[in-house]
Amino acid sequence: MRYSKYYIPTYKETPSDAEVISHQLMLRAGMIRKLASGIYTYLPAGLRSIKKVENIIREEMNRAGAIEILMPAVQPAELWQESGRWDYYGRELLRFKDRHNHDACLGPTHEEVITDLVRKEIQSYKQMPINFYQIQTKFRDEIRPRFGLMRGREFIMKDAYSFDIDDKSANHSYEIMHEAYTRIFMRCGLKFRAVEADTGAIGGSFSHEFMVLADTGEDQIISCTNCEYAANLEKAEIRPPENVPEHGEQDINPVVPVDTPDIKTVEEVTSFLDITPDQLIKTLIFVSDEEVVAALVRGDHEINEAKLTALLGAQKIELADADIVTEITGAPMGFAGPVGLNIKIVADYAIKGMNNFVTGGNKKDLHLKNVNLKKDFKVNRFADLRNITPGDLCPKCGGEIRFGRGIEVGHVFKLGTKYSKALKAMFLDEKGKERPIIMGCYGIGVGRTVAAAIEQNHDKNGIVFPIPVSPFEVTILPLQMHETTVVEIAEKIYKHLLDNNVDVLIDDRDERAGVKFTDADLLGIPVRVTVGLRGVKNGQVEIKLRAESESVDMPVKDAPAFIKEKIKDLYDSLK
Ligand code: ATP
Ligand code: MG
């Protein structure tokens, strides 16, 4: 490609509306432009990186035996009503009506559409296992689109769906995808970890998220410093305490009501009463499907809604609004407590063994001191209901845990029969008996993967692309466009590389050397070939890797072979 006839609009200033480095660099390097919140145009260089990632994904999906198809972006509401998600999905689902007043949506994911296809196409055990995938544009009306391609509203996703006759075979399909994902992200040059993730309340299912390790990641990842355990914050389990009685050994005192005028939050209550947060119990009122329940966690702990949802076996839970809280507790928000409460009470394990603690008093401006389990109220069930904290130990081996941040680039999910049952995707087994198909789904954010690669690979001058994701493999900079020998040598190398299927960009603009160097660094192309008057006089060009500070001078005749070798080394290092 010739820079002069191409379009890479770079700029120097850090864009004011871009918070994370990948977003800033993609704008500055002329890879993307914003149309509206969370909606971007891929400019030529950005599109090239996107296509590179798509091709890696495609190769590995095909290698893993998945079959490419392409499904529509527009999906009829009926399918979503059938699966039950039309009411459940919320406002991320962009809905509209067509001219005949039929409800429809822009697909945020394709479980419904693929299950509809499969229930019509696949009837026999002989047709499975089968795995269909597509690389397609999704729309999710994210509440907070941000960080450029990282969290867009319109974005490209690879989504795959596996169909199996039984659990054993479904687990095998899952393993194959897990392996393919590992290869894909290795080939993209990413440092990542597959972590156990939450699956909601779907039975027989499990899932892993592929997390690129980066400080700017939106997800918190917990990993063990001793064993292989890694999980996201939602999923990370906490070891149940062993043999803890329902109250501790200390003396149990009678309950003392204390006036706490307008004092509601943990911070306010603890400082007012001069206690530490672990001497207080937070009472959270939730609406779980139709039922109202109270969940208790220690003042210094955070409730984990995914764990609570799973414990209650609920489809959906939500913190109760002010009206419900008043109706249930008799007090405005901020004063709920378990004493005298007539609803189901579930409590986190950490509460077992606490005594003489503080809770809300179920009356405006009132808290209770010296509250005790059993004596003052009854817990229906103890369970792991909170987020893990840095003070906890690894749930698998008891080792020390580490908190880190990650960007979720991919997600593999064993779905089980959730969609096949809802949409009646059945097959006849060997005995002619009708059974629901076992499904798995597998997503990768293509744009997010490019952004994550930049997040992990940059320096003060710009992007330092891993070669498989870079828009070009090599850039050639002829420094003096008016010097015939310079141009001739640059053109010769350019032609040679083109003939050898190298992705090469020649910066043939009539620009100063400084501009060419700055732009080359910004765009982060891994191999740079500089053809300058001084070197050319000695029959030499300079070759430099973007990731290294040293360069080498090379006789012109040896340059092409050397460049090709460097390219090969860069790819080989990611195998
Ligand atoms: P997140 O928790 O980040 O919202 P998700 O759990 O909603 O992700 P999935 O439904 O599993 O994501 O989608 C599969 C993949 O699509 C994700 O792993 C991610 O790489 C990508 N993805 C999801 N939402 C977005 C988005 N808004 N912008 C860009 N990529 C996205
Ligand atoms: Mg999401």
pLDDT digits (tens, 9 = 90+) for 337-371: 999 999 999 999 999 989 899 999 999 999 999 99
Q: Residues 547, 549, 550, 551: is their CA dihedral positive or negative?
A: positive
More confident residue, 216 or 106: 106
For residue 202, what pLDDT band results from cuts at 50, 70 and 90? Answer: low
Residue nearest atom 6 in ligand 1 by C-alpha distance: 411
Q: Which of 408, 413, 455 to mutate to test the pocket of ligand 1 (most atoms within 8 A of CB)?
A: 408
Ligand with smallest separation from the Cα of 140? 1
Residue of 573, 228, 537, 206 lying closest to 401 (CA atoms)? 228
Ligand 1, residue 443: give the atom nearest the CA.
14
Ligand 1 centroid to Cα of residue 151, in Å, is 8
Residue 248 above 60 pLDDT? no
Ligand with smallest separation from the Cα of 150? 1
pLDDT digits (tens, 9 = 90+) for 95-135: 999 999 999 999 999 999 999 999 999 999 999 999 999 99
pLDDT of 66 reads 98
Residue nearest atom 16 in ligand 1 by C-alpha distance: 445
Tokens 């997600």: give the residue. 411
Question: Residues with Cβ within 6 A of ligand 1?
Answer: 109, 140, 142, 151-152, 155, 157, 408-411, 443-445, 447-448
More confident residue, 17 or 449: 449
For residue 235, what pLDDT band results from cuts at 50, 70 and 90? Answer: confident
For residue 245, what pLDDT band results from cuts at 50, 70 and 90? Answer: confident
Report the C-alpha dihedral over residues 142, 148, 149, 152, rounded to 10 degrees.
Answer: 10
Ligand 1, residue 153: give the atom nearest the CA.
27
pLDDT of 204 reads 66
Beta strand 474-478 with 504-506 is parallel
Segment 253-258 long-range contacts (CB within 8 Å, at least 24 positions apart): 253/356, 253/370, 254/370, 255/339, 255/368, 255/369, 255/370, 255/371, 255/376, 256/368, 256/369, 256/370, 257/361, 257/366, 257/367, 257/368, 257/369, 258/366, 258/367, 258/368, 258/369
Q: Calculate the average pLDDT of the chain.
A: 95
pLDDT digits (tens, 9 = 90+) for 151-166: 999 999 999 999 999 9
pLDDT digits (tens, 9 = 90+) for 8-36: 999 999 999 899 999 999 999 999 999 99
For residue 472, what pLDDT band results from cuts at 50, 70 and 90? Answer: very high
pLDDT of 412 reads 97
Ligand 1 centroid to Cα of residue 445, in Å, is 6
Residue 201 above 60 pLDDT? no
Residue count (the chain): 575
Question: What are the structure tokens assigned to 323, written together?
Answer: 């009206």
Residue 252 above 90 pLDDT? no
More confident residue, 243 or 16: 16
For residue 92, what pLDDT band results from cuts at 50, 70 and 90? Answer: very high
